[in-house]
Structure formats: C-alpha cells, structure tokens
Structure 1
Amino acid sequence: MPEELVVALPGRPVPVLGRGERLVTWSAEDLASTHDVRRVWDLAAVGRLLDGLRRTDPAAVWAAAHGLPAPPRVQDQPDLLAAAEDPSHPTSDDGQLNPAWLRERSADEPDRSASLALEVQRLQEERLRGLPDLRTDPVVAPLPVLTAWSESAAALLAVELGATGLPLDRAVAAAYLEEHVGPRPRDEAEARRQREERDAPVHARFPGPAVDLRSPAQVKELLGRVGLDLPDTRSWRLEAHAGAVPAVAALLAWRKAERLSTTNGWAWLDGQVTPAGRLHGSWGAADAAAGRMTVSAGLHSLPAELRHAVRAEPGHLLVRADLGQVEPRVLAAVSHDPGLVAATRQPDLYAPVAAALGCDRPTAKVAVLAAMYGQTSGTAGAALRRMERAYPRAMAYLRTAEEAGRTGQPLRTCGGRLVHAVPPVGQEAAYGRFTRNAAVQGAAAELFKAWAVTVRDRLLGTGAEIVLCLHDELLLHVPEDSAPDAVQLLHDALASVGSWWAAGSGVGFRTEVGVGASWADARTG
C-alpha cells in the first residue's frame, strides 16, 4: 500500500503525521519549529538534486518540474507589472506559477495550494524513477528516489543545525585568541595597531620597504627580493621554500595568525557565539558543485587548535565519527571495479591497493587520490599508470566523468544529482578534472547525508543531537551515560545505509568513532 503524502503549507501549523504518511513541503525552512518530523519530501531540495537549481523559491521549483524557463524573481518585476497581475488563478497563461496568487491567495486556498505541491512532487518522483540505478541489486526503491528522500531530510537537518548551534566554551576560545592574536582590541585604532605589530616580524625578514602583506601582487614582489620568482603566492607553493628561506617561513606563520584573526578572531567570537556558548551558522544542505553541506560563521574553516574550545556542556560528551577513506570506497561502489571492491573489505583500503600497485602505502594513497582529482604526473606517476591495469573499471568510470566535463555533456551522480559542467572556452581541461572528481565527491556527499539523517532519525527523543556535519565527519552532543549507545548507533546506521545505498556491490564502508569532553579530545581510531 503506497504511503499517503501530506502537504505542509507555509504559515500554517505543521500537520502531525500518522502511520504511513509522509510530509511534502516547498522548503524545510517552513518546518523550522518542528524537530520531530522524520519523513519529509522537500521540493526545493529535490529541485537542487534533479535540476541543479540555485533558486529554490516555489516559482522556480515549479518551473523546473514542468520544464519551463526560470521565471523572473518577484522582487525583480516592475511594480507596475506586479500591480497588473491577476491573483485569481494559481498559474499564468504561460504555465508559470502566478506570483500574485502565491502572495495573495495561496494561504486562503489550502486545498489548491496542496494540490500544486503534490503535482510538483509527482513530477519530480516520475523523473527520478526514470534515471538509471547504478546498483547491482536495486532494493527497496530506485537509488535516485531514495536520495531525494535523504536530501530532503538533510535539508531539515540543516535547519536544525542552525537552530541548535555548536557548543563552544567562550573562555577557552578567548584564551587561545589572546595568545595567538593578541588581547581583545578596545577600538579600531587598537586593532590597526595590533595588525601592524603582527606584520612587523615579516617585514623585518625582507629587505626594502614594507608592503601590504594582504595584497598578493605586493607579496609576489616581496618574494622577488629574496630570489623567488613564483607564478603566485599560494601557501602550498610557498611551503616548498619555507625550510630554506626563513623569510618565507615567517610569512606563512603570519598568514596563519592573520587568517585566525580575520575569520575566527575577536569579531567572530563576539558576533557569532552566543553568551550561552553556542556557535550558530547558516547551514545549506547542498552546495552548487557536488552537493556537499555548507555552513557560514567560519565553521568549516575552524582551526584545529580551536577544537579544544568546542566543548560538551555539563553532563554531556561529544561523540565524533568520521567516514574512513570514503571517496575511494564510493568509487568502488559506483564503478563496480572488482579489485577495488575487494580492497574495501579491508580496514585499511590502501594496504591492498599498495600490494596491487607494487608500491608503498603512502604512494598508493597519493595515486588513488590523484586518479580521482585528475592528476596524471608527479611522485605517484608510475603508480597511477599501474592503476590502469589493476583497476580498469574504476579508471574508465573516472575518464567518462572527465570527458563529460570537457565536452559539456550532462553529468549526474549515482544518486541523480545534476552536476553543472559547461566549460568556458579554453577551460575544458579544468572542467574535465572538476567533473572527474565531482562524480565521486558528489556520490560521497550523498552517502554521508544519508548516514547523517539516519543517525538523526535514531537520535530523536534520546536527548542527543547532531551539532556538526563537517565534510565526512559527524559530531554528536550526547548525555554522558548514553555515549556508548551513541557509538553503537553510528556504526549500525552506517551498516544500514550501506545495505541499500550500495546494495549488491560488496563494498565495505567504515567509520572511526571517538568520545571526549571536547572536539579535540574525541579522537577517532
């Protein structure tokens, strides 16, 4: 018996779901006050998945579902045109959703509003069911449909993460900033003086007049004074010279302190962390590239040293879980390469890969990562060439994804996400490398989010909560006595997700879990 779909309408209470019912909403943001919703289809989230939408207002989602061109934003329309709109019908003559009806009548016609949302859901699901399912054993439902449900739940999780916030000890953070940035400035004049004091040790290392260290062009000229003619001033390029040139080492140390000051300094602590000690960011369920979760407030770039300040509240612990070697394991699942699949059954995937390539483990790791990122030379060049013989199906999968980017052909992840890849003239090679990686990274993001929302579902009502999703890492804030249960839950949830996400592949997924009072203490392993 099919499940019944119930529509959540903006501005109205969220309906209570009965057994066998699922919620359809234009956006999970409309469910911000409801933290016990388990089954949701987010029309905007599915629009991002299916059509790569960057706009997710109802009119844009409606247009994409019906194969119509993107409508103008309501705020972009001239007032005179808006005044002439007829609000009596939900759609216009051209088939677009009528902005005037949405503004003035949709709340008064709930049945009609619900039918529009259900029509979009039906069209989205029909298209998802028409996409290929790359699994060898397509259990339960097509993978793109399952991905739509998990992406919808991830959109709800993003809303909750923003509301919950990350527990952060302000005193610990302040002590670290005082040591590495300087005392809290009383005013802008003192802040400027502190910047000059941080700059001084670098200027002392270079001959000639001082320059603006925040200007790449001026820093490039500065490096020329010590005999370095470099194409750019990126840190990874400078690191190769830091051991031999003390001035470069000083510049890199300055950059670290400057980045801390500007991104996670006093202004960040005062403006982003509440007096109660919660850091709130604005979360997104999928970026516009490969669909990874995003967040503001400096959370994704939080320096490792500040992880000591991310501390559990009294009576609680932090449980950290990291998907181990997830991208090569995902590559094995989506390419069905038998040799790589066999390697995933080992705790350390790179050990059998090294044996197959006839090299040491570090070289094998570099070769696998280079293959996924489109690197074809360097220290792992010989091992990369041997990968073609050892893992031909995996390499063929990557080449196909790269060719799509080079030629501007549509590319979808295994879960159905449309990856935008229309290369500008002259940048075909770069776009090919992007799509080569996006096919794997996007699939890994879908696996991670399916795992995260499964964990979320099983935590509801336990007093534990997810407080951070960082790349391939989950951070849970749990009552102290339930930490062992949370550890087991993380392992069980991954096993459950792997059983349907990679059904029939034989791929093994692993998570490393650690528990501690702070994020830094909750080391995995």
Structure 2
Amino acid sequence: MVEAVEVVEVVGAPGVPGVADVRAGLRRLGTVPALGLVVVPGGLGLAVPGHRWAVATDDPAGVLADLEAEFAPRWTWWSAAGAAGRAGDVHLARCHDLAAVHRVLGGGAREDPGAVWAAAHGLPAPPPPSRRPDAAHGTATLDLDGAAAADEPVTGAGQVSPTWADGRAFDVDPPQRLDRAARWAGLALDVAAAQSRALAALPDHRPQPAGPPLPVQTGYAESAAALLAVELSRTGLPLDRATAEAIVGAAVGPRPATPAEERRARAARDEAVRRHLGDQHGDRHGDHRGDLDLRNPAQVLAALRGLGFDVPDTRAHRLEAFRDAHPAVAALLLWRKAERLATTYGYSWLDEHVGRDGRLRGGWSAADAAAGRMTAQAGLHNLPAELRPAVAAEPGHVLVRADLGQVEPRVLAVVSGDPGLVAATHADDLYAPVAAALAADRPTAKVAVLAAMYGQTSGAAGEALRRMERAYPRALAHLRAAEEAGRAGRDVRTYGGRLVRVPAPAPGETGTATTARGRFARNAVVQGAAAELFKAWAATVRAGLAGSGGRIVLCLHDELLLHVPAAHAQRAAGLLEVALTRTADRWAAGSGVRFVADVSVVQRWSEAK
C-alpha cells in the first residue's frame, strides 16, 4: 500500500527548499532502488513503497536531474512517452517501463494502462481506452465527464478506473491533479513489482546464467529501449539539407513551383522508360505507348515479356540480372529509384520532417507488435541508399557507425546450442566455416542459412536447407519446433522471454495460410532474440555515452549510428565494441558464441563500409 502522502512545493531550479524536502524524505529511506514517476502539467508525482510526494514545479526536468544525481533510482513509469518525454535532455540511467515490459510478457499491441494493470493482476483486459492515454493530460478545463468525481483509481472489480486509464482523471485543478499524479506513481510501483515477479518466473535458457535472470534483463533492456525511442524522436538524425536537395534534384529535377510543373516533370521521367517499353505495350493492346502505366505492375510485366524477358514479376532483385540485357530494364530500374525519391523522399518529405536545425525527426517505437524490433516513422528505417550522403555530422562532430556482423545466424547458434554452428561463430565471416561444413561455396552457404531461418524449401534454397539439416541438426530442430508451433497456432517465446503472438488457425484456412504462420514463428524466434540482443547492446552504449556529448541518432535493425564530438570519436568507437562484448557476455552467457561488429568513424553515413 502507498501511504504517508507528503505535499511539497518546488518552484524554479533544483536546490530550493522543496526539492530539499523530497531529498530528505528519500534519504531517510536509505536506498532508493525504484522511484515511481508521473509528470503532469504543473508538477509531478513521486512514490516509493509506503511514501509518495505530490510536487509542484515549473521545472520537472530540473527536479529529475537533481534526484538522478543523488539517488540514481530505477525510474518507474507507465510509459516513457508520458514521463521521460518531459525530462528534456536529462540523462536518466535506469528505468522500468510498464508498457514495454507488458509487451514482453503478453505480446500483442496494447500497452494502455488498463491493459497493463489487468495483465499484472491476472484480470481480463478491459475495453480499449476512449482516447490515447496521457498521464500528463491535465487541461484543468470544465469537468464535463466526471473527472473530478473519479477519486479512486481502482474499481471494486479490481480494474483501473477508465477515467484514470485514459487520462481524464487528471483534468482537474492543480492541487488535486498533483495528488492524483502521486497516487498514479504509487500504482506504477505495484504493477512493476508484479511484472518483475512474472519475468523472474520465466525460464532462463542460458547454459551458465550470469546476473539477474535473462527475462528480467530483457525487461530492463526493453525499458531502456523505450526511453531511447523517446530520445531518438526528440534528438533527430543530422541531415545536410543542401546535399539532400541536390540528390533529390539530380533524380527528379528542380523543385516544382506549381502542381503543373510537378506533373510535367513526372511525365518526362515516365517518357524516358516508355520509349523503350511503350511500343511493346502498344503492340499488345493496340494503344499508344503513352498509355503504358509504369505504376501498374501487370502492364509493366506484360511489356517486359513482350521484349522476351520471362520473369514472374517486376521486383527489382529479379530485374537486376537483366540490367545490361536491354536498355528498357536499366531505364526502368533508374525510374523506380527516381519515383521513390519523388513520391516518398522528395521535396515535400524534406519540408515536413527536417527542422530548421537540420535534424530529421520521426516518431520511434521500441518494439513492433510482432517480434519486437524497433521501428520509426518519417522514413527513418527505410532511407534509400542514395540519401545516405546527406546524413552528415555537424561541425565539430563525427558519425560513429557499428553494424553487427551476421547477427541472426549467430543468435541462432545461441538459442539452439548447436555445437557446429557455435564453432562457426568464432570466425569473422561465419559463412566461410559453414561453406566448408556444407562442402559448398560461400554464396550457397549463405543461401542455406537464410533458407533455414526463413523456411524456404523450394529450388536451390530447398537443397541448401537439406544440407543444413545434416550439418547443423540442433539448429534446424529448434527452428522446426518453432515452425510446428506456428502452424498449430501456438504462441512462441523468444530466448529472452518475449511472447510472440501467433494467430489461431481460421476455419477452413488453406495450406498457404498455415505455411505462412509456421514461417512467421520460425523466423520470430531468431529475429525476436536478435532484437533483444540489439536493444541490450544499444542500452549499454547509451549508458556509456552519458556525459560525453554523444548521442545515438539511429537504430537500424542491427546497426547503430552515433553522433559524437570529434574529440571523443575513438572513445565512442571503442565503446561500441566493449559494449557488445559485455552485452554478449550477459545475454549469451556460457554459449561460447562470438559476436562481431564493423565499426567506422565517418563524416557522412555513406562513407561507412
């Protein structure tokens, strides 16, 4: 139970008497392992087991900095977006994010307080909230929906009150809002304790466990990733606007002044391809070549077949093999790159997402609803290679980039414990010893490994997979077990404990749907585990950058990009490698698997090899 409410007033910078009162109260407790936090307009609520404080302040970031410096607690909040989003540039070292840990334990996409509370207390999930939850809503406007009457955050049925879960409970006058923030912070501690028990109860699959149980460490890393996602959204990716505009201009032409100019530029780009493909389209359909719609895959495929290309579709990787066979193919591939820049990464994209400070910003999420990979908006996760020269360090800074080498095969070695595959990870290039084991060349070995993880069974991939079965039976048995669970509609858990939801079979579904579900599960146990390792690594790097002026500015699947002062470049490069070693020593303790990263210091992202 949370009790002994203490109301203090804090105004301005840290160090004034109000903050001192909070500090004194925490000092009397001795250690402060966890500190519940809820930030609302006009102040914040703090809680530890048995005590809570409602703090009035116009400088929440200053209060957090002051308490972080002395106590370094594990900040406990409902979600990083609602709490750390108002911390400014204050570095908070440790946290427990209830929404992030809920996604680990229960899978799925819901992360609202009602669902989080219910899961922690073994209750059925309540209906989704009526609006996006925001503990800092606090408009203090007219009470039109009973917010002031919502005194109790937990109903008689044990569920969180809907008005607290959706933020309406904070639409009250400041004194009551701050008191409720403190109570909400206390309830966050209650949920965190239940989640920690649930994580600790999950199996730890490491051969030689080190430190807390691995699922508990996953909870820490996922929480840190949620905090990092808030920081990435705020910090942005440094982008040289002039270079970006020059790249776009070279591909699609000058910035159009009017919609009519934009249409003429589009028609000119299309014509460069139609003069090669259009005649084939016209011969087949009796049309003028200008009627060929390059954005219609069926029409483009028919035109290519008219030129003698027997291809099943028009995907770029299929057409690349024919680039030099006919000018139409080269023109089409070039047109596609220009079209992507014009429609997705063109002038309007730059105007919308690049700020006056030269930072490209988009919202980040610490985990998708599938295997838990980090995702981003505004095209940050899908930037075309053509635009990488525009990602450039600011004056006095450098970019330090690290790319995990062949991370998913190495993760497969950890999660399966296959001794042959473990031995292969000791090489810088894992595919070389795999090729030797398969009596094949390196390209075939790579196809075999990818076929194993993605469940490809036909053509060259099928033969390669059969060779993998003989050379690495434990790895393939692990993947097969996951696939069988997926085909049956059973959920799977990753090595670190994340639950991956698998859809139940639909009545009368076809074999194609069953196969797809099996492949999803087969890949999820590897991809999800790799995402856990990556986020644990990123969290360790983030901690090591504290106080250096350096920041993580991009997390791209298995790649980290740092922006650091030039004077700290080599320190940052070393940090990336040391952090990977330390992370692997914990995450893969006793496995014998070696992880590697390619680290480079550059001015522009395109310079990294």
Using the size of structure 2 for normalisation, the TM-score is 0.81
> Whole-Å Cα distance in 2 between the matches of residues 91 and 231 of structure 1?
58
Instruction: Name which structure has the greater RCO, CA cutoff 8 Å, separation 6+.
Output: 1
Q: Which residue of 2 aligns with 1:276?
A: 357
Structure 1: state its 5+ residue gaps: none
> Whole-Å Cα distance in 1 between the matches of residues 425 and 309 of structure 2?
44
1:57 pairs with 2:120: no
Deviation of 1:347 after TM superposition, in Å, equals 1.3
Q: Which of 104, 127, 130 is 1:72 aligned to?
A: 127
1:10 pairs with 2:5: no
Segment of structure 1 superposing worse, 152-161 or 48-57 = 48-57
Q: Which residue of 2 aligns with 1:447?
A: 533
Amino acid at match of 1:43: L
Contact conserved, 1:107 with 1:113, CA < 8 A, in 2? Answer: no
Amino acid at match of 2:161: N
Q: Which of 50, 60, 73 is 1:21 aligned to?
A: 73
1:157-306 alignment runs, 5 A limit: 157-206=228-277, 207=279, 208=282, 209=288, 210-223=291-304, 225-226=306-307, 232-306=313-387
% same residue? 59
Contact conserved, 2:410 with 2:595, CA < 8 A, in 1? Answer: yes
Q: Which of 90, 95, 101 is 1:40 aligned to?
A: 95
1:494 pairs with 2:580: yes
> Whole-Å Cα distance in 2 between the matches of residues 10 and 20 of structure 1?
18
RMSD: 2.3
Contact conserved, 2:39 with 2:181, CA < 8 A, in 1? Answer: no
Give per-residue Cα distances to partners, 1:66-88, cap 9 Å, x unaligned: 333332233279xxx96599613
> Whole-Å Cα distance in 2 between the matches of residues 519 and 368 of structure 1?
29
> Whole-Å Cα distance in 2 between the matches of residues 323 and 164 of structure 1?
23
1:367 pairs with 2:451: no
Amino acid at match of 2:203: P
Contact conserved, 1:65 with 1:123, CA < 8 A, in 2? Answer: yes
Larger CA Rg, structure 1 vs 2: 2
Q: Which residue of 1 aligns with 2:162?
A: 99
Aligned residues: 521
SS at match of 2:403: strand
Contact conserved, 2:147 with 2:168, CA < 8 A, in 1? Answer: no
> Whole-Å Cα distance in 2 between the matches of residues 232 and 380 of structure 1?
19
Contact conserved, 2:448 with 2:467, CA < 8 A, in 1? Answer: no
Contact conserved, 1:86 with 1:100, CA < 8 A, in 2? Answer: no
Segment of structure 1 superposing worse, 204-213 or 134-143 = 204-213
Give per-residue Cα distances to partners, 1:160-203, cap 9 Å, x unaligned: 11111111111111111111111011121111111111111122
Contact conserved, 2:399 with 2:564, CA < 8 A, in 1? Answer: yes
1:136 pairs with 2:165: no
Q: Which residue of 2 aligns with 1:155?
A: 226
Q: Which residue of 2 aligns with 1:436?
A: 522
Contact conserved, 2:112 with 2:129, CA < 8 A, in 1? Answer: no
1:311-350 alignment runs, 5 A limit: 311-350=392-431
Q: Which residue of 2 aligns with 1:522?
A: 608
1:89 pairs with 2:152: yes
> Whole-Å Cα distance in 1 between the matches of residues 462 and 324 of structure 2?
25
Q: Which of 172, 180, 198 is 1:109 aligned to?
A: 180
Segment of structure 1 superposing worse, 60-69 or 302-311 = 60-69
Contact conserved, 2:77 with 2:185, CA < 8 A, in 1? Answer: no
SS at match of 1:387: helix
Structure 2: state its 5+ residue gaps: 1-29, 45-59, 133-143, 171-176, 283-287
Contact conserved, 1:47 with 1:53, CA < 8 A, in 2? Answer: no
Q: Which residue of 2 aligns with 1:467?
A: 553
Q: Which of 537, 540, 544 is 1:458 aligned to?
A: 544
> Whole-Å Cα distance in 2 between the matches of residues 53 and 94 of structure 1?
24
> Whole-Å Cα distance in 1 between the matches of residues 397 and 304 of structure 2?
49
Give per-residue Cα distances to partners, 1:92-125, cap 9 Å, x unaligned: 2333210224522664234432332112112211
CA distance change for structure 1 residues 104 and 382 in 2, over 3 Å: closer, same or farther? closer
> Whole-Å Cα distance in 1 between the matches of residues 33 and 147 of structure 2?
38
Q: Which residue of 1 aligns with 2:488?
A: 407
CA distance change for structure 1 residues 193 and 10 in 2, over 3 Å: closer, same or farther? same
Contact conserved, 1:324 with 1:510, CA < 8 A, in 2? Answer: yes
> Whole-Å Cα distance in 2 between the matches of residues 505 and 82 of structure 1?
56
SS at match of 2:398: strand
Amino acid at match of 2:158: G
Contact conserved, 1:307 with 1:519, CA < 8 A, in 2? Answer: yes
> Whole-Å Cα distance in 1 between the matches of residues 469 and 182 of structure 2?
58
SS at match of 2:344: helix
SS at match of 2:435: helix
Contact conserved, 1:85 with 1:100, CA < 8 A, in 2? Answer: no
> Whole-Å Cα distance in 1 between the matches of residues 34 and 335 of structure 2?
56
